């Protein structure tokens, strides 16, 4: 009996131990699930129903020098409707509210549907099963501006908000350019799946700001919708980028360049305007021909390396001057009637002239290839490395380092480097701008240094970044080289550049209002030592600065493959330079010499102010201010007239002004004429502008009544 009892107890204890062991295991598993692995399972649950998504930030603005918006982000809103929102009760969604909402949607959102159609559609959405795909995220309107989105938000039902009215409003940002294609390629863009371009790309980290976070919930149909209208973690707006671009000069440059490309049916072109003393880029225009029309499809100014042609001759002549070889610019040298053979290659001048010799000054001014190459061979044939070293000393072997991406480094051959493929004809051809590659901006930087008395400035296009108007970082003018050449070389180089305008290839753009210095360039694009392949293609260029005696702006114009109306730099590119320079000069009052500082010019008889009438004291003060000599009658009354005696002598004479009859107001300004006529009871009507040349009422007519006198001004 005892043994049976013990056996039962053993079994009971065994079962109890097993139960206890299972209970401990279950408890440990629960502990692991609820405590140890809780974050893991919570995250997994959230990923199924709720998740965080990036909330885009407001991209910073890109501005011109005067604060004009070149690129900005505008908010637009997409409206959706949650027909099964938790708080959207039948009391809110009643017949009256649905009717009003349907009428407003049909009137203000989408007029292709009638209010009845909208009402039926809304009722169908409300009656659909909750699991219906998309029922909780129904599109209502897309890309609404903020003011219109607020109007939609005020509609019946929608005005109850996200949870009670099912109203979902999501913000998107769209990049806009107020000036449309102006500086399009320079401003650039950032696009998913494409390389960033221009300022948008180079300053993307500054412009893009910091993304926020928004909580999204999954609804039937595997769609995620925002839990709230606003992001839980607010995004930080990007900083603004303030450029050096002058919107007016940019507009002038683009229009002048576009007109030239159309006139000459060119493939593409570019123009850059730089401030001489600082290196600020005031305009950067690029135009290219496409099947859709003319657009800024590529930044040729920064990214296209080309053989500069004759514009490079300035560097060649300066190298010879630095070597002490060109002491007398009026020395005559042979030019062999414009043709010379160097080794087995024939070199020709662009224009036939038949001259046996020219002065060094004429060689440069008339852009003689033969004269330039002959001089380079004469001075550097035995040591071409010295010539190349001068080119490097001028900074022409280095990129400018401008903030825009895509700049190509220059290619300048090195006679000591076997990979350069240096040959016996490399030196003469390099001296006239072939067998080396430069971008237009790199060549302009060199010319700008010459204009700036040798000081080479780094070109820059961004002057500061700002956050809500406060300066974050400022970019100041940077000196690359204090002097690229000696003062003597620079002085004579400027003299040569001015001669190109006064007596050389670009004499057609000489201005009477200001002075220009520069160099034309015409390069053959598909040449082999001037033996053309099929279809000769050219590139026309002009690079220079103005005003020549005190340079303020430098500018380069390059137009590729003109097909009509000429192809030389003087006839294709130089007029564009002149058009840009004219407008820049007109807009910049600092460039104008004050009238009272100019030398006095004796007026021709036709320019004298004869037969001008008015108040005697006003006439005398005006002539005194103009410093014009005159005689006058004695004891002049209040009114007088100017007449010319003996052709070039002015005489102030008495003008009779009766009290009771209509006086003669011919020759008077409008102020004096109206004063006299209205004091005699006349009503005055005016036609034209200027001074009174004719009046409808004859002098001597009795004044009175309600007469009308018509004054004809010229």
- Do residue 380 and residue 276 come from a single domain? yes
Question: What is the rounded distance in angstroms from the CA atom of residue 386 to the CA atom of residue 324?
Answer: 12
Burial class (CB in 10 A: 0-12, 13-18, 19+), 372: buried
H or E stretch including 485?
none
The domain that holds 579 is classified in CATH as 3.40.710.10
Question: What is the rounded distance in angstroms from the CA atom of residue 440 to the CA atom of residue 20?
Answer: 88
How are beta strands 332-334 and 357-359 bridged, if at all?
Answer: antiparallel
Question: What is the rounded distance in angstroms from the CA atom of residue 309 to the CA atom of residue 429?
Answer: 9
In this structure, is residue 78 part of a structural domain? yes
In this structure, is residue 168 part of a structural domain? yes
Final residue in a domain of this structure, among 559, 591, 623? 591
Residue-level pLDDT at 127: 86
Q: What is the pLDDT of residues 233-249, one digit of tens each?
A: 667 888 999 999 999 99
Domain range enclosing 614: 605-713
Q: Which residue has the tokens 């407003």?
A: 104
Residue-level pLDDT at 546: 95
- Do residue 148 and residue 294 come from a single domain? no
In this structure, is residue 130 part of a structural domain? yes
**DSSP secondary structure, 140-168, as one string:** EEEEEEHHHHHHHHTSTTGGGHHHHH-EE
**Is 530 a residue whose pLDDT tops 50?**
no
The domain that holds 73 is classified in CATH as 3.90.1310.10
Final residue in a domain of this structure, among 240, 262, 287? 240
Question: What is the rounded distance in angstroms from the CA atom of residue 427 to the CA atom of residue 612?
Answer: 69
- Do residue 214 and residue 86 come from a single domain? yes
- Do residue 475 and residue 454 come from a single domain? yes
In this structure, is residue 599 part of a structural domain? no
Question: What is the rounded distance in angstroms from the CA atom of residue 179 to the CA atom of residue 101?
Answer: 38
In this structure, is residue 69 part of a structural domain? yes
- Do residue 367 and residue 284 come from a single domain? yes
Q: What is the pLDDT of residues 368-405, one digit of tens each?
A: 999 999 999 999 999 999 999 999 999 999 999 999 88
- Cβ neighbours for 359, distance < 8 A, ≥ 6 positions apart: 329, 330, 331, 332, 333
Q: Higher pLDDT residue, 203 or 44?
A: 203
**Average pLDDT over the chain, rounded to an integer:** 86
Tell me the percentage of the chain whose pLDDT exceeds 70: 89
Of residues 326, 338, 327, 324, the one with CA closest to residue 366: 338
Question: What is the rounded distance in angstroms from the CA atom of residue 285 to the CA atom of residue 251?
Answer: 9
**Is 597 a residue whose pLDDT tops 70?**
no
How many independent structural domains does the chain possess? 3
- Do residue 186 and residue 254 come from a single domain? no
Final residue in a domain of this structure, among 186, 214, 240? 240
Question: What is the rounded distance in angstroms from the CA atom of residue 218 to the CA atom of residue 387?
Answer: 72
In this structure, is residue 21 part of a structural domain? no
- Cβ neighbours for 402, distance < 8 A, ≥ 6 positions apart: 281, 302, 441, 458, 459, 460, 461
- Do residue 309 and residue 266 come from a single domain? yes
- Cα–Cα distance list, 387 to 409, 430, 435 (Å): 20, 10, 14
Lowest mean pLDDT among 94-108, 301-315, 549-563: 94-108
In this structure, is residue 37 part of a structural domain? no
In this structure, is residue 9 part of a structural domain? no
Question: What is the rounded distance in angstroms from the CA atom of residue 455 to the CA atom of residue 276?
Answer: 10
Please tell me the pTM assigned to this model.
0.75
Q: What is the pLDDT of residues 407-455, one digit of tens each?
A: 999 999 999 888 888 988 899 999 999 999 999 999 999 999 999 999 9
**Is 25 a residue whose pLDDT tops 90?**
no
Q: Higher pLDDT residue, 298 or 17?
A: 298
- Tell me the Cα Rg of the chain: 41
- Cα–Cα distance list, 609 to 619, 626, 639 (Å): 10, 11, 16
- Do residue 453 and residue 480 come from a single domain? yes
- Do residue 549 and residue 649 come from a single domain? no
- Cβ neighbours for 264, distance < 8 A, ≥ 6 positions apart: 559, 562, 563, 564, 565, 566, 567, 572
Confidence of residue 367 (pLDDT cuts 50, 70, 90): very high
**Is 47 a residue whose pLDDT tops 50?**
no
- Do residue 397 and residue 512 come from a single domain? yes
DSSP 419: G
Q: Higher pLDDT residue, 230 or 526?
A: 526
- Do residue 311 and residue 220 come from a single domain? no
- Do residue 555 and residue 610 come from a single domain? no
């Amino acid at each position: 009996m005892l043994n049976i009892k013990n056996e039962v107890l053993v079994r009971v204890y065994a079962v109890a131990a097993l139960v206890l062991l299972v209970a401990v295991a279950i408890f440990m598993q629960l502990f692991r699930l609820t405590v140890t692995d809780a974050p893991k399972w919570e995250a997994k649950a959230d990923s199924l129903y709720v998740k965080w998504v990036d909330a885009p930030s407001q991209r910073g603005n890109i501005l011109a020098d005067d604060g004009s918006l070149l690129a900005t982000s505008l908010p637009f809103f997409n409206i959706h409707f949650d027909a099964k929102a938790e708080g959207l009760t039948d009391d809110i969604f009643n017949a009256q509210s649905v009717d009003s909402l349907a009428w407003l949607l049909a009137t203000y959102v989408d007029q292709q549907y009638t209010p009845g159609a909208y009402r039926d559609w809304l009722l169908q959405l409300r009656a659909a099963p909750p699991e219906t795909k998309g029922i909780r995220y129904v599109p209502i309107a897309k890309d609404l501006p903020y003011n219109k989105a607020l109007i939609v938000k005020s509609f019946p039902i929608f005005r109850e908000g996200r949870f009670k009215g099912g109203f979902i409003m999501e913000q998107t940002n769209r990049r806009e350019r107020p000036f449309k294609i102006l500086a399009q390629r320079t401003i650039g863009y950032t696009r998913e799946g494409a390389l960033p371009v221009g300022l948008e790309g180079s300053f993307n980290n500054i412009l893009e700001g910091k993304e926020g976070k928004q909580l999204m919930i999954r609804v039937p149909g595997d769609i995620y919708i925002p839990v709230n209208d606003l992001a839980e973690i607010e995004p930080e707006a990007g900083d603004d980028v303030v450029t050096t671009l002058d919107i007016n000069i940019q507009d002038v440059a683009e229009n002048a360049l576009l007109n030239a490309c159309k006139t000459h049916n060119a493939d593409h072109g570019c123009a850059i305007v730089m401030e001489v003393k600082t290196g600020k880029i005031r305009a950067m225009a690029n135009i290219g021909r496409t099947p859709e029309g003319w657009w800024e499809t590529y930044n040729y100014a920064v990214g296209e390396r080309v053989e500069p042609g004759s514009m490079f001759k300035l560097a060649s002549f300066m190298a010879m001057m630095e070597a002490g070889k060109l002491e007398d610019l009026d020395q005559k040298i042979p030019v062999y009637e414009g043709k010379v053979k160097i080794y087995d290659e024939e070199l020709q001048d662009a224009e036939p002239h038949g001259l046996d010799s020219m002065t060094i000054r004429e060689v440069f001014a008339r852009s003689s290839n033969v004269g330039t190459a002959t001089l380079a061979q004469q001075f550097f044939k035995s040591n071409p490395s010295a010539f190349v070293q001068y080119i490097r000393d001028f900074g022409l072997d280095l990129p400018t380092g401008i903030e825009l991406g895509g700049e190509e480094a220059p290619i300048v051959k090195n006679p000591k480097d076997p990979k350069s493929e240096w040959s016996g004809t490399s030196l003469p051809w390099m001296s006239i701008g072939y067998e080396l590659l430069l971008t237009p901006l790199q060549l302009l930087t060199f010319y700008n240094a010459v204009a700036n008395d040798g000081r080479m400035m780094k070109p820059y296009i961004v002057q500061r970044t700002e956050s809500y108007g406060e300066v974050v970082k400022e970019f100041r003018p940077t000196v690359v080289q204090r002097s690229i050449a000696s003062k003597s070389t620079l002085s004579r180089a400027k003299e040569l550049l001015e001669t190109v305008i006064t007596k050389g290839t670009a004499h057609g753009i000489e201005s009477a209002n200001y002075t220009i210095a520069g160099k034309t360039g015409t390069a053959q694009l598909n040449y082999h030592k001037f033996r053309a392949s099929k279809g000769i293609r050219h590139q026309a260029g002009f690079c220079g600065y103005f005003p020549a005696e005190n340079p303020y702006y430098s500018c380069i114009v390059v137009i590729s493959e003109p097909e009509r109306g000429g192809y030389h730099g003087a006839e294709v590119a130089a007029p564009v330079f002149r058009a840009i320079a004219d407008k820049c000069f007109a807009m910049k009052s600092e460039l104008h010499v004050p009238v009272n500082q100019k030398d006095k010019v004796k007026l021709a008889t036709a320019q004298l102010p004869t037969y001008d009438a008015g108040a005697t004291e006003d006439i005398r003060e005006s002539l005194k201010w103009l410093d014009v000599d005159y005689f006058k009658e004695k004891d002049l009354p209040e009114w007088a007239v100017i007449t010319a005696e003996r052709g070039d002598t002015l005489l102030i004479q008495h003008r009779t002004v009766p009290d009771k009859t209509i006086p003669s107001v011919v020759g008077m300004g409008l102020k004096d004429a109206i004063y006299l006529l209205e004091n005699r009871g006349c009503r005055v009507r005016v036609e034209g502008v200027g001074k009174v040349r004719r009046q409808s009422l004859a002098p001597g007519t009795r004044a009175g009544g309600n007469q009308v006198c018509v004054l004809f001004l010229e």
